[in-house]
Amino acid sequence: MDSTREALRRLVVGTLMPGFVGTTVAPWVTREYAAGLAAVCLYGANVAGPEQLSSLCAELRSVAPDLLVSVDEEGGDVTRLHYPTGSNQPGNAVLGRLDDTALTRESAAAIGRELTAYGINLDLAPVVDVNSAPDNPVIGVRSFGEDAALVSRHGVAAVEGLQAQGVAACAKHFPGHGDTVTDSHLALPRVDAPAEVLEVRELEPFRAAVAAGVACVMTSHVVVTAIDPERPSTFSPTMLGDVLRGRLGFDGVIVSDALDMAGASAETGIPEAAVRALQAGCDLLCTGSETTEDDYLAIVDAVVAAVESGRLDRTRLADAAARVERLRRTFAPGAVVAAAASKEVLWSEDTVAQAFSVSDAARAWQAVDAPPVIVQVASEPNLAVGRVAWGPEAAGLTTDADDVRAGAKVAVAGRSLEPGHPAWVVADRLRAEGHSVIVVECGWPRGEGDVVTYGGSVVAARALGRLLGVRAR
């Protein structure tokens, strides 16, 4: 490779943040770091436990000392550090319901301390989407709430908590994924709200995060018709240049949401999506959780070819790489510890339970003189959450439906309890067997549920157990 093309390739890989397969460092990551790779992203499939994660991060730092290492550690339902066991933080919806910004700041700071202990220096959080669509299939309890002012103040607290620990925060998913009923992992959502609503609802939390000095903003693969009716935000120069850079004054790193999502690349493929994202103004490209070496090289080749053909301006590419390099230097990692499982934040179960919604029927159930049990019903997660441990089962609080003894009162727990969810069938069966039964929604309320916990974290589950009088076995 001649020096000119080598320099171009170095710029290209300086804008990429691939995932990789496995629980040890993929050999190609080491090679590409030497060639200028900017970042990698760790996912749940890369994590088997705290000791293994420490080893993985130590290995990464030994071969790539100033690499940006990122995760989606939102706390609550979306966790990567605690993927096998469930999050040790309550999650955004619970924090928003409590509405104490000091608690939100401390939750984020605790996450930041844990990340820095592992040598992870970019957290793809907080979510600052306003969850204005109750049946939103992908945001829900990842949001602080449905009010823009509340989301703004808690988003700022989360940014401050993370960045005070030396971890770059990333407000997402610009300009807002909360008013959608389509999951962008699976299809291309649209937001059809008028411009005046977008201004005071979707944009306000991002405006606040920018004013608070957030290091990064992540795009959404969502078409916002009042601003750009043709292109998803990730590929919209209007959205990223005119709105985010211009009107909001953001000067940090624009990170694409994962380009392997259907909303980004179902029609074009990931390499073409990478070119389009850079053209639009993205600086750091999240390529997806299972990026192979062949996938990665195809992306590199496509972006190099786009510059050589004149489709992608080299100055735009150089600007993106320079922004990422500044981010790497600003949030340079410290030392990696041998084991970084943090137990420093002991959430009061009574405090967390204050966020719950508890119906009169649930209060009456509490008064029934019978031994309480919890039955958890399997609930399909969205792709952002993944197969993380969740709910009362993760906290050791459950009994199998077939093992419920005569005379017991039963709380049937599930999440996303829409009509047709199997939890309703289980509840009806147990009532028919003579049990006093309530139903617990461990997610965002869909209009039903005698108790709503606003999240499935282990922290929320333990608070639920205390509320219902069920102890871990």
The tens digit of pLDDT for each residue in 42-63 reads: 999 999 999 999 999 999 999 9
Whether the CB-CB separation of 257 and 184 falls below 8 Å is answered with yes
Task: Please state, in angstroms and rounded to a whole number, the distance separating the CA atoms of residues 76 and 230.
Answer: 34
Q: Which amino acid is at 428?
A: D
Q: How does pLDDT run across 274-324, given as a tens digit for each residue?
A: 999 999 999 999 999 989 999 999 999 999 999 999 999 999 999 999 999
The percentage of the chain sitting over the pLDDT mark of 90, rounded to a whole number, equals 84
Q: Which two structure tokens, joined as six digits, stand for 273?
A: 């999506």
pLDDT of residue 387: 87
pLDDT of residue 94: 98
Which residues of the chain, if any, have pLDDT below 50?
A: 339, 341
- Which positions are annotated as active-site residues? 185, 257
Task: Please state, in angstroms and rounded to a whole number, the distance separating the CA atoms of residues 1 and 231.
Answer: 35
Domain with CATH 3.20.20.300 in the chain: 3-330
Of residues 364, 359, 353, the one with CA closest to residue 455: 353
pLDDT of residue 392: 97
Task: Select from 3.20.20.300, 3.10.520.10, 2.60.15.10, 2.30.30.140 the CATH code of 3-330.
Answer: 3.20.20.300
Which runs of E-coded beta strand occur in 128-249? 168-174, 190-191, 216-219, 223-224
